[in-house]
Amino acid sequence: MTEVERHSYDVLVIGAGGAGLRAAIEAREQGLRTAVICKSLFGKAHTVMAEGGCAAAMGNVNAGDNWQVHFRDTMRGGKFLNNWRMAELHAKEAPDRVWELETYGALFDRTGDGRISQRNFGGHEYPRLAHVGDRTGLELIRTMQQKIVSLQQEDYRDLGDYDARLKVFSECTVTQLLNDDAGAISGAFAYWRESGRFVQFDAPAVVLATGGIGKSFSVTSNSWEYTGDGHALAMRAGAKLINMEFVQFHPTGMVWPPSVKGILVTEGVRGDGGVLKNANGERFMFNYIPDVFKGYYADNPEEADRWYSDPNNNRRTPDLLPRDEVARAINTEVKEGRGSPHGGVYLDIASRLSDEEIERRLPSMHHQFKELADVDITSEAMEVGPTCHYVMGGVEVDPDTGAADGVPGLFAAGECAGGMHGSNRLGGNSLSDLLVFGRRAGSGAAGYVSSLTERPTANQAQVDEAARAAVEPFGAGETYENPYTLQSDLQRLMNELVGIIRTEGEMSEALTKLRDLAERARHVGIEGNRQYNPGWHLALDLRNMLLVSECVARAALRRTESRGGHTRDDFPKMDAEWRHTLLECTLDGESVTVTPGEQVPMRADLLELFELTELEKYYTEPELVEHPARTG
Ligand code: FAD
């Protein structure tokens, strides 16, 4: 039997980004002993990198905004594939979650009359993103960490131990969820990254908040941690993933120099007036307004420019179309020979705002380009292009509680949960998602634990097997595969064959190649020992990356239409018959199975928020029979 450090909690939160921290705060506030585990340093998560802001219909900058408008924008952005109940809860609760952050100590930028300021972003009808310059995620994490410290101080006062009811385990990677004989969650198995020692956490409830999968693509805004761990852990525990074919390519990543290719240029640049231009200096986005959005966006530069100062009497600029539309447009411009020297297009804020305004509103962007690309964005345009940014797909959860379908005790929130954003997420809707559904998952987990009469017990054989699997790469024999080579082959494959534009032939080729990579991955080997060994860490992460990549490729091959973050060159149109179908990925032994499942039809009062003429662009005729405009 391997030596394993052991801890017992009521609720285990895996991930310390916005979703994980908000879930942990909630579970602890409901009196449960809670642990937060994160594989990077505490405070280092994607949430920290969020620049643009947090979408919440507070109506501070335009009084016309309210939850119904936000709900409509979110459903339109997701091309009506969203879980409508999640979109409803999100739109209704986001403003309270933003306010709550200020009670934890956050300080958002202000309007002239002292209210929380809100900025424009793609797909949002009104200025809606509460922000702190372009460092909003940092403020969000900072204040939630501060809240955690204050809860720990309370525990010290009451119980004499800071960690009595809320403890953070950082630089600790979970490799497997544990369950009892009936399949209910009983904890998780992990290792300390520094020492390589194993840790067993016993807990009847686990909240997955592990973020995204972007590191499986070669051009990405994601950092090293985002290897789809939560997605893979959930699948191996018996949960379903939905919407995995929908991967968001943010339209504006840096394209130059190669060492920083993919790093994000916030949509806030366009929200604050920046415009996209091709190599001929043309503002090309006017040529790419899709039929479903015609009438909502300005079709000429004069109106688009007026919209910034007079949004009530002008239509918004198509530079702020949802991300999937802008990314495809840039792709086409480059493919047709109108790109910039390094294969992108130009994003120009220099000719639109004064130097002082740019430095005040976009300090991180100014610094990023100056330091990394030697470009001064106050005097010249940025070269930008699509970068893999966000996964809409994730664990299928109950919208109200975050409970994963089919695995008692498992919950998920944030980017690793699926449904909320449908086929395409609107910018700013992630930070609000983390707060709304992090809180709900923490509460769902607390409620579940409180309702138990008996705690599930750990299965020793499973723990031993998890330990054996973890050290497997050390015994690979004389000739073995290098994990770094495998990772780079996987990234190239996913970018080239399952990237922004997809075809049946390329995806079939990708699946064959993924099988080869999976076979090679069996022979991944590393040298040295378990003490801080990044090659070993990557070897373990690769298993998750391969599994999740297969889900993306299989689901993408199956969906024979184009919608949001899934574009098929061979099926370029959106097909209403696919709108009500969710592709569910499950694991059967070692094989990924993709099964079509039915969307729950939208509640009538929510359906009524849309004009029938708009719904007709997305829905089948039989689905609209009950619409009040028809029944009349
Ligand atoms: P994350 O914040 O990604 O945190 C995941 C956590 O899980 C980390 O602590 C990680 O260490 C941990 N973890 C992962 N695997 C394991 C494991 N196996 N064991 C233990 N721990 C693990 N969204 C917006 O709404 N507005 C924006 O302005 C915005 N800007 C962005 C800018 C950038 C550059 C990027 C990359 C994203 C941006 N997003 C934005 C998206 C948003 O930041 C993310 O979707 C969101 O932060 C995800 O939060 P999360 O809590 O789900 O996970």
pLDDT tens figures, 316-326: 999 999 888 89
**Within the chain, what is the greatest distance between any pair of CA atoms?**
75
Residues designated catalytic: 250, 270
Q: Which of 44, 47, 189 to mutate to test the pocket of ligand 1 (most atoms within 8 A of CB)?
A: 47
Give residue 47 CA to ligand 1 midpoint distance, Å: 4
Give residue 160 CA to ligand 1 midpoint distance, Å: 33
Amino acid at 248: Q
Q: Which of 430, 435, 545 to mutate to test the pocket of ligand 1 (most atoms within 8 A of CB)?
A: 430
Pairwise CA distance, residues 1 & 461, whole Å: 9
Give residue 177 CA to ligand 1 midpoint distance, Å: 20
For ligand 1, what atom is nearest to the CA of residue 53? 28
Question: What is the three-class DSSP state of 394?
Answer: strand
Could you read off the pLDDT of 587-602 as tens digits, one per residue? 998 899 999 999 999 9
Measuring from atom 40 of ligand 1, which residue has the nearest CA? 50
Measuring from atom 39 of ligand 1, which residue has the nearest CA? 50
For ligand 1, what atom is nearest to the CA of residue 222? 36
Whole-angstrom CA distances from 329 to 121, 172, 340, 345, 465 are 17, 41, 14, 10, 49
Give residue 16 CA to ligand 1 midpoint distance, Å: 9
Give residue 52 CA to ligand 1 midpoint distance, Å: 14
pLDDT score for 323:
85
Nearest 5 degrees, angle CA 447-CA 390-CA 76? 85
Instruction: List the alpha helices (DSSP H) in 78-187.
Output: 84-104, 136-159
Pairwise CA distance, residues 591 & 563, whole Å: 26
pLDDT score for 1:
60
Pairwise CA distance, residues 269 & 261, whole Å: 18
For ligand 1, what atom is nearest to the CA of residue 221? 36
Which residues form ligand 1's pocket by a CB distance below 6 Å? 14-20, 37-40, 45-47, 49-53, 136-137, 173-174, 209-211, 221-222, 225, 229, 264, 390, 414-415, 427-431, 434
What was the ipTM of the complex prediction?
0.99
For ligand 1, what atom is nearest to the CA of residue 414? 52
- Residue entry with tokens 């599994």: 547
Pairwise CA distance, residues 211 & 15, whole Å: 8
Nearest 5 degrees, angle CA 192-CA 438-CA 37? 5
Residue 394 vs residue 261, higher pLDDT: 394
pLDDT score for 343:
87
Pairwise CA distance, residues 86 & 425, whole Å: 13
Could you read off the pLDDT of 446-499 as tens digits, one per residue? 999 999 999 999 899 999 999 999 999 998 777 889 999 999 999 999 999 999
Give residue 332 CA to ligand 1 midpoint distance, Å: 29
Q: In what order do the strands lie in the sheet with 394-396?
A: 417-418, 394-396, 241-242, 581-588, 591-598
Measuring from atom 32 of ligand 1, which residue has the nearest CA? 50
Give residue 544 CA to ligand 1 midpoint distance, Å: 17
For 336-371, give one letter per residue: b (16+ CB within 10 A) or e: eeebbeeebbbbbbbeebeeeebeebbebbbebbee
pLDDT score for 62:
94
For ligand 1, what atom is nearest to the CA of residue 430? 25
Token reading at 582: 């969710």
Could you read off the pLDDT of 213-246 as tens digits, one per residue? 999 999 899 999 999 999 999 999 999 999 999 9
Beta strand extents in 459-504 (DSSP E only): none
Q: Which of 41, 173, 208, 210 to mutate to test the pocket of ligand 1 (most atoms within 8 A of CB)?
A: 210
Measuring from atom 27 of ligand 1, which residue has the nearest CA? 50
Task: Give the model's confidence band at 207: pLDDT under 50 very low, under 70 low, under 90 confident, else very high.
Answer: very high
Q: What average pLDDT score do residues 556-572 get?
A: 95
pLDDT score for 340:
93
Give residue 15 CA to ligand 1 midpoint distance, Å: 9
Q: What average pLDDT score do residues 528-557 get?
A: 97
Measuring from atom 47 of ligand 1, which residue has the nearest CA? 47
Q: Which of 25, 46, 168, 231 to mutate to test the pocket of ligand 1 (most atoms within 8 A of CB)?
A: 46
